[in-house]
Amino acid sequence: GHLAADHFAERGFLHIGFVGRKPWSIWENLFIGIQDEARERGMDVDLLSMPAFLQADKSAATPAYERFVDWIRKVPKPLALVCPSDGLAARFCAWVRSVGLQVPTDVAILGNGNNPAICERSFPRLSSIGTAEDQRGIAACELMANLLAGEKPPREAVMIPPSGITVRESTDVLATVDPAVSEALRYMWANIAKNLSVDDVALHTGLHRRTLERAFRTAFGRGVNAELHRRRLEKGAELLHNTELAVTEISEKTGFRSDDYFYRAFRSAFGATPSQWRKANQPQNA
């Protein structure tokens, strides 16, 4: 939940929604995490509780569809929508478009599970939270082995943190009303491999450096360099997770001035070196 709220807060969203169904089951932890982090960041949270039959209610012109579209029309836009599964996220993409709203411009949608069979076939392609299935499987096997060896079961549930967010088109949007900030971000993201300076970005937007810095702090609570650094690290993690590129290549593709600086910055942000993080988060290297 914290990961999802961070993802949208960093893109400038002020309103975040969550659609769940009762009984809550494991979805409750996801919602609580979103709610806590969003409130800390000053974001509004809207919850739509759907009936248990939602999972099987796939068509339009049904009670679940009518309830969803009535809610989606009323909530503030742009809205960051977090879904407890990729299947529901893909369905909501279609339902949002059916009432004339755009994904991700009006409603940015984030799934959960990062199932390529769903995420890559959705329109638009779905951003999704990786649930570290391989790590969960390893933990389950270890727990079973311990139980068979006569050990007592753990008193609390074993929690496996998510592996990160794979960003695709469904959340690839900037929720800021300042056109200069939007243009600056597009320029920064398109040129992430270059050693850009704040002056380079200011020159591109036609703004004075101080004016641009002030606009960024108003929109995101951080300056241009901090946003560029954050985006470089985010891109680095994405490449580590989704490609087999060498760490030195990733350092170059993300605009870090040296491999050593990339290692130190990544470790400071993620608590592990790039190689360690890749091993822990990429199934084929687990």
Residues 218, 107, single domain; the answer is no
Amino acid 145: pLDDT: 76
Question: What percent of the chain clears pLDDT 70, i.e. is strictly above it?
Answer: 84
Same structural domain for residues 197 and 213?
A: yes
* Better-predicted residue by pLDDT, 9 or 138: 9
User: What pLDDT does 56 receive?
Assistant: 46
Same-domain status, 98 and 238: no
The proportion of the chain whose per-residue pLDDT surpasses 90, expressed as a percent, equals 30
40 or 252: which carries more pLDDT confidence? 252
Same domain for 30 and 51: yes
Write down the pLDDT at residue 35.
82
As a whole number of angstroms, the distance between CA 128 and CA 116 comes to 10
Taking 50 as the threshold, does the pLDDT of residue 187 lie above it?
yes
CATH code of the domain containing 202: 1.10.10.60
Q: In terms of domains, do 11 and 49 share one?
A: yes
Distance between CA 267 and CA 284 in Å, rounded? Answer: 22
Q: What is the pLDDT of residue 50?
A: 73
Q: Is the pLDDT of residue 76 over 60?
A: yes
Q: Do 86 and 207 lie in a common domain? A: no
Mean pLDDT of the chain: 82
One domain for residues 165 and 197: no
Structure-block tokens of residue 85:
């599964």
CA distance 70 to 210: 43
Q: Which amino acid is at 168?
A: R
Instruction: Name beta bridge partners: 118.
Output: none
Number of domains within the chain: 2
Residue 141 within any structural domain of the chain? no
Q: Could you write out the DSSP letters of every residue in the chain?
A: -HHHHHHHHTTT--EEEEEEESS-TTHHHHHHHHHHHHHHTT-EEEEEEEPGGGGG--SSSSHHHHHHHHHHHHS-SSEEEE-SSHHHHHHHHHHHHHTT--TTTTEEEEEES--HHHHTTSSSPPEEEE--HHHHHHHHHHHHHHHHTTPPPPSSPPP----EEE--GGG-----S-HHHHHHHHHHHHTTTS---HHHHHHHHT--HHHHHHHHHHHHSS-HHHHHHHHHHHHHHHHHHH----HHHHHHHTT-S-HHHHHHHHHHHHSS-HHHHHHHH-GGG-
Residue at 155 is within a domain? no
Lowest mean pLDDT among 30-39, 47-56, 78-87, 248-257: 47-56
Question: Are 125 and 213 members of one domain?
Answer: no
| Lowest-pLDDT range of 86-90, 122-126, 148-152, 252-256 | 148-152
Residue 59: pLDDT above 60?
A: no
Confidence of residue 53 (pLDDT cuts 50, 70, 90): very low
In a domain, residue 146? The reply is no
Indicate which CATH number applies to the domain containing 50.
3.40.50.2300
pLDDT the model gives residue 7: 84
Residue 42 lies in a domain: yes
Q: Is 149 among the domain residues? A: no
Q: Is the pLDDT of residue 46 over 80?
A: yes
Same-domain check for residues 45 and 125: yes
Question: Which residue range forms the structural domain that includes residue 32?
Answer: 2-130+161-171
Nearest CA among 140, 82, 141, 138 for reference residue 113: 82
**pLDDT reading at 22 higher than 70:** no
Query: Would you state the pLDDT for residue 41?
Result: 80
Q: Give me the sign of the Cα torsion angle 59, 60, 61, 62.
A: positive
Q: Of 116, 138, 171, which marks where a domain is finished?
A: 171
pLDDT at residue 162 is higher than 60? yes
Minimum mean pLDDT among 33-42, 222-231, 241-250: which range? 33-42
Supply the pLDDT for residue 285: 38
**Residue 268, in any domain of the structure:** yes
Q: Is 15 in the same domain as 108? A: yes
Residue 229 banded pLDDT, cuts 50, 70, 90 = very high
The pLDDT of 8-33, averaged and rounded, is 75
The pLDDT of 31-35, averaged and rounded, is 79
The reply to whether 124 and 183 lie within a common domain is no
Q: What is the pLDDT of residue 119?
A: 92
Among residues 171, 204, 222, the one where a domain terminates is: 171
Q: Residue 249 pLDDT > 90, yes or no?
A: yes
* Interstrand relation of 164-166 and 127-130 (parallel, antiparallel or unpaired): antiparallel
Same domain, 202 and 92: no
Residue after which a domain boundary falls, among 139, 171, 203:
171
- Condensed to tens digits (0 to 9), the pLDDT of residues 104-117 reads 888 999 998 889 89
Residue 156 lies in a domain: no
Residue 160 has pLDDT above 70, yes or no: no
Any domain includes 273: yes
